[in-house]
Structure 1
């Protein structure tokens, strides 16, 4: 086995052209952005000027909310949304229960469905008791 010479080792190692962030901070530069200071300040100034120009035509904020006909439209939309949520939830429940109801007509699948539902209920109770800290199980840490 041969030991590589110093020249081969130096040729094989990659060289960094620019210092990394820690070196720049250590050198006293302290900058993490390569843009000049005037460009940063100019960009911030232009952004603030555009924001102010866009807000000139804006009306006052309605801190107390809409009044009159807008309020009536709001409650009408809320009523429609509640009816929509009720329709979707009952449709989902029916789509979930209908196949189970069809399986309950056969005695063998009915027993399986009842066993699965009872097992799910027992598992749910165990998980909730464990989450609430009602179980007697004590975990002993091994050293």
Structure 2
């Protein structure tokens, strides 16, 4: 008798997936705001603000793209999203230093930290991403 694998997605992972979609779209919009903020900074900071804004847009879109893989329990997606969100946190800290968007960026920072915590900390989430798919030679449990 083979052990059964619980395929239901735990609540923390579902919350993380929703936050990934919302956060990715919000980070894309935040990147546009940072990009537009280049018109309000000193001439020496225009290039830096433009690069931070463009990178934030790109990472926001990559985060949205990884949301569906995260929902399916992909460990690669969890690792990539953690890397994307870590880079976004660094970019958001740079944006705070370069622009005057402090309250908006503070909310985005908090959301990124919550998503990382929801995917890595709860034991149910760790088990969900640690599960292994049955090998091709194993008989189907449906049969």
Give the shorter-chain TM-score range.
under 0.3
State TM-score, norm by structure 2. Answer: 0.22
Greater helix fraction, Structure 1 or Structure 2: 2
State TM-score, norm by structure 1. Answer: 0.22
